[in-house]
Amino acid sequence: MPSSEPKAKIAPFPSRSEAPAAEKLGLTHRPRRNRKSEWARRLVRENVLTTNDLIWPIFVIDGERRTEPVASMPGVVRYSVDEAVRAAENAAALRIPAMAIFPYTDPGLRDPHGSEALHDQNLVCRACRAIKAAVPDLGLVTDVALDPYTSHGHDGLMRGEDILNDETVAVLVKQALNQARAGADVIAPSDMMDGRVAAIRAGLDGEGYEHVQIMAYAAKYASAFYGPFRDAVGTNKTLIGDKRTYQMDPANSDEALREVEQDILEGADMVMVKPGLPYLDIVRRVKDTFGQPTFAYQVSGEYAMIMAAAQNGWLDGDRAMLESLLAFKRAGADGVLTYFAVRAAEALRDG
């Protein structure tokens, strides 16, 4: 049966003359006044993204005059060493402070011990020497971990199914020294072995490389967002099992602070949280707790998601890119490793 209740009348929206005075509503402060125009928004902006905040990760391969697209990372390529030099020159022209170098090691050079990591003519070492010769003022960050060099795809040495901690650390020290001799400015251990920062610091200092910095992957999580990176370095097909016995559980936050504190006490000059956007809460806690130079890695999966959505027309790629990078600054990061570095630097220059 139809209701006998009379329908409520909707009051018309008051005209400007009928609207209550601001004083009666308590609106003596109107936040929108500071948003009324671009110049006003710029004046009160709390965080600013600049090219000084960017580190560009690149992938290197064997050969000459060669670039090779990474299928799962649209716009990202692997560079032969000579092409990496040209990429570095472009980065320097854009005033990007530093590059991070990762190798795609020929499968024939990979073995259970990661021996290629210790060769002074491996891809990373050759790229460091060539880039330093051409662009000496560009910072070079090198990854210390065995996964690009092992036939099993793990960051450390294996015995059966176990990843060996102390035996791996001894090899990582040699790898770090190999990279420092090739001209690396920043050694970035990403392996998550216990005690590796102290051992690497002692090894560098003992060989006269006190000036070489350490950027520790201090809170690196066992994340699903690394898939495209593993395609880029060729470890997706080689990885046996997973990395959850040494990379962090995504459920944990307090543990990240303990990991970061340990790396700082062992001599890390800078600390990193990886991945980035899903872990902004960790970035904020680390920066607030320790006040140390804190970086985040906008990893391959984050990059690929933004690029895929942009290519499908689901969002504005440049705006999403810059907004995502600004989020790191707002969370407290001093800088970001991002595959968007060149594109972001160009947008910041032109904007």
Beta bridge partners of 141: 100, 186
**In this structure, what are the phi and psi dihedrals at residue 23, rounded to the nearest 5 degrees?**
-65, -40
| 301 burial level (CB within 10 Å; 0-12, 13-18, 19+) | buried
**Known catalytic residue at 36:** no
Which three-class secondary structure state does DSSP give residue 97?
A: coil
Which three-class secondary structure state does DSSP give residue 54?
A: strand
- Burial of 128-162, coded b for 16+ CB within 10 Å and e otherwise, reads bbbbbeebeebbbbbbbbbbbbbebbbbbbbeeee
Domain ranges of the chain: 49-350
- Burial of 219-252, coded b for 16+ CB within 10 Å and e otherwise, reads bbbebebbbbbbbbbbbeebeeeebeebbbeeee
Report whether pLDDT(121) > 80: yes
Structure confidence at residue 17 as a pLDDT band (50, 70, 90): low
Report whether pLDDT(24) > 90: no
Structure confidence at residue 350 as a pLDDT band (50, 70, 90): confident
pLDDT value, residue 13: 58
Tokens 């959850």 correspond to what residue? Answer: 244
pLDDT value, residue 238: 82
Instruction: Kindly write down the DSSP assignment for every residue of 134-193, as one continuous string.
Output: H-TTSEEEEEE-STTTBTT--SSEEETTEEEHHHHHHHHHHHHHHHHHTT-SEEEE-S--
Other C-beta atoms within 10 Å of 316: how many? 12
Structure confidence at residue 28 as a pLDDT band (50, 70, 90): confident
238-243 CB contacts, 8 Å cutoff, 24+ apart: 238/107, 238/110, 238/150, 238/151, 238/152, 238/153, 239/147, 239/152, 239/153, 239/154, 240/152, 240/153, 240/154, 240/158, 241/154, 241/161, 243/154, 243/155, 243/192
pLDDT value, residue 248: 96
Residue range 280-319, pLDDT digits in tens = 999 999 999 999 999 999 999 999 999 999 999 999 999 9
User: Among residues 132, 243, 274, 287, which one is catalytic?
Assistant: 274
Name the nearest CA neighbour of 61 among 47, 32, 81, 76: 81
Region 322-338 average pLDDT: 98
CATH, domain 49-350, list 3.40.50.10470, 4.10.1240.10, 3.20.20.70, 3.30.450.20: 3.20.20.70
Residue range 236-250, pLDDT digits in tens = 778 888 999 999 999
Report whether pLDDT(8) > 60: no
Residue range 162-208, pLDDT digits in tens = 999 999 999 999 999 999 999 999 999 999 999 999 999 999 999 99
* Bridge pairing between strands 77-80 and 67-69: antiparallel
Report whether pLDDT(46) > 70: yes
User: Among residues 132, 220, 287, 329, which one is catalytic?
Assistant: 220
Residue range 136-164, pLDDT digits in tens = 999 999 999 999 999 999 999 999 999 99
Report whether pLDDT(18) > 90: no
Structure confidence at residue 111 as a pLDDT band (50, 70, 90): very high
User: Distance between CA atoms of 64 and 108, rounded to whole angstroms?
Assistant: 19
pLDDT value, residue 12: 61
Do 189 and 181 meet the contact criterion of CB atoms below 8 Å apart? Answer: no
- The secondary structure element, H or E, covering residue 220 is strand 213-220
User: Distance between CA atoms of 85 and 281, rounded to whole angstroms?
Assistant: 36
